[in-house]
């Protein structure tokens, strides 16, 4: 099936009781059992929920995977991946990732005996050098938040297979519409479904998809034991949203391309980073492993005051954390999403005080461009 057909139908049949075309919100914590040991396959809401199962099957289809597991947030999904390893094990991570991933790994999970090496995975030889005897997982984000660095997914997964490592790809920025890491050999694909998958800025959620039965069983067991499940209503909202994912992503990208070109040509920014621009250092890799360039742009305005002026004066862009919604958002990575990354590390990554991140929405592009022009006066 094509992407949009799967997006609208995968995981969903008319409700057997009423014929309702839209999967109901099974808002229940428990299920009636006929007699001891006899039930309809549903025992307790943390373990089984049909709205959630529909969403999981839907996203698994979009990511070309067999198994999906929905979580209560993106970071809950990331945390669960670490249940595949134990104290003393070593994990290699892309140097630039979402600040909350950095905080979870470096400031929390390190306390539990896990070891992390942060590596610039845009150069695969760095990754090769970071692998140790106890390495178990390679965790990459591509494109990265907020610098939009790309990592060659196929090169990473080949290396992981050779070294018997689990490869995990955070695909939040591209969404399955533009990139499918499992088809490039990844073991697990991760999403903050808060972002493009839901797309309407009204849900916090996460998602893992895999083709590996053993990995799936472990993650499912751990999720039931630890309890980081999303509510049936949140699952229903995301399930409704994926129906329009293709059309939303097309429009996000069209707007982002025009805005990136405007920022570049207007001279308003010192540096414009967008994988769709020919000046992006990995534009060729973007064309190879992605089917589009996405809706995120990062720009360095050169100094903090200029960034502050823009963030304060925009009227259509909203200053706020998050991304991937239909409405345009603007943020200041240094103090917002990457506030818990140490200053020296931010400097190395290029997350300066003048850096701003645009999540380009699906409004009229003329209004978005005018908003930025007006804000910078």
Q: Of residues 181, 206, 294, 354, which one binds ligand P1T by CB under 6 A? A: 206
Q: Reply yes or no on whether 270 is catalytic.
A: no
Q: What would the x/- binding string for ligand P1T be over residues 128 to 147, using CB under 6 A?
A: -------------x---x--
Per annotation, catalytic residue among 195, 248, 306, 357: 195
Instruction: Provide the token pair at 301.
Output: 């305005």
Q: Taking CB under 6 A as the rule, does residue 105 contact ligand P1T?
A: no
Q: Taking CB under 6 A as the rule, does residue 74 contact ligand P1T?
A: yes
User: What is the distance in angstroms between the CA of the first residue and the CA of the last residue of the chain?
Assistant: 49
Q: Which has the closest alpha carbon to 232: 56, 17, 32, 67? A: 56
Q: Of residues 11, 65, 100, 181, which one binds ligand P1T by CB under 6 A? A: 100
Q: Which has the closest alpha carbon to 102: 349, 273, 323, 319? A: 349
Distances from the Cα of 172 to the Cαs of 104, 142, 158, in angstroms? 17, 8, 22
For every residue of 232-299, DSSP letters joined together read: HHHHHHHHHHHTTHHHHHHHHHHHHHHHHHHHHHHT-SSEEE-TTSTTSTTHHHHHHH-SS--SEEEE
Q: Reply yes or no on whether 216 is catalytic.
A: no
Size of the site for ligand P1T (CB under 6 A): 18
- Other CB atoms within 10 A of residue 343 CB: 9
Q: Taking CB under 6 A as the rule, does residue 98 contact ligand P1T?
A: yes
Q: Reply yes or no on whether 346 is catalytic.
A: no
Q: Of residues 174, 263, 273, 323, which one binds ligand P1T by CB under 6 A? A: 323
Per annotation, catalytic residue among 67, 98, 196, 216: 98
Q: Reply yes or no on whether 67 is catalytic.
A: no
Instruction: Provide the token pair at 112.
Output: 């539990």
**Which one, 39 or 318, has the nearer CB to ligand P1T?**
318
Q: Residue 33 belongs to what H/E stretch? A: none
- Shortest approach of ligand P1T to residue 274 CB, angstroms? 16
Q: Of residues 15, 128, 270, 321, which one binds ligand P1T by CB under 6 A? A: 321
Per annotation, catalytic residue among 170, 187, 234, 300: 170
Binding-site ranges for ligand P1T (CB under 6 A): 73-75, 98, 100-101, 141, 145, 170, 172, 192, 194, 204, 206, 321-323, 337
Residues forming the active site: 46, 98, 170, 195
């Amino acid at each position: 099936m094509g992407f949009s057909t799967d997006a609208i139908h995968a995981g969903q049949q008319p409700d057997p009781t009423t014929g309702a075309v839209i999967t109901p919100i099974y808002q229940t914590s428990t299920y009636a059992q006929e007699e001891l040991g006899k039930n309809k396959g549903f025992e307790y809401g943390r373990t089984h929920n049909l709205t959630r199962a529909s969403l999981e099957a839907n996203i698994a289809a979009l990511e070309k995977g067999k198994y999906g597991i929905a979580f209560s947030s993106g970071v809950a999904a990331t945390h669960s991946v670490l249940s595949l390893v134990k104290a003393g094990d070593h994990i290699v991570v892309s140097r630039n990732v979402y600040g909350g991933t950095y905080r979870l790994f470096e400031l929390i999970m390190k306390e539990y005996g896990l070891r992390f090496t942060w590596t610039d995975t845009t150069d695969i030889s760095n990754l090769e050098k970071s692998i140790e005897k106890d390495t178990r997982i390679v965790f990459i984000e591509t494109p990265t938040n907020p610098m939009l660095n790309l990592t060659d997914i196929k090169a990473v997964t080949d290396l992981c297979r050779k070294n018997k490592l689990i490869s995990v790809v955070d695909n939040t920025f591209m969404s399955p519409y533009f990139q499918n890491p499992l088809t490039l050999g990844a073991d697990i694909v991760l999403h903050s479904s808060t972002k493009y998958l839901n797309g309407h800025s009204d849900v916090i959620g996460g998602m893992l998809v895999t083709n590996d039965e053993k990995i799936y069983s472990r993650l499912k067991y751990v999720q039931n034991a630890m309890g980081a499940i999303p509510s049936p209503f949140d699952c229903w909202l995301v399930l409704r949203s994926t129906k329009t994912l293709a059309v939303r992503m097309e429009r996000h990208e069209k707007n982002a391309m025009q805005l990136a070109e405007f920022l570049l040509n207007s001279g308003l920014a010192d540096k414009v980073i967008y994988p769709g621009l020919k000046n992006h250092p990995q534009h060729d890799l973007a064309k190879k492993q992605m089917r589009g360039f996405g809706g995120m742009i990062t720009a360095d305005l050169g100094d903090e005051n200029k960034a502050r002026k823009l963030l304060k004066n925009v009227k259509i862009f909203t200053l706020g954390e998050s991304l991937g919604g239909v409405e345009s958002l603007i943020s200041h990575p240094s103090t917002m999403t990457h506030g818990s990354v140490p200053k020296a590390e931010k400097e190395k990554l290029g997350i300066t005080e003048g850096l701003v991140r645009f999540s380009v929405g699906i409004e009229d592009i003329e209004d978005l461009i005018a908003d930025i022009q007006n804000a910078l006066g």
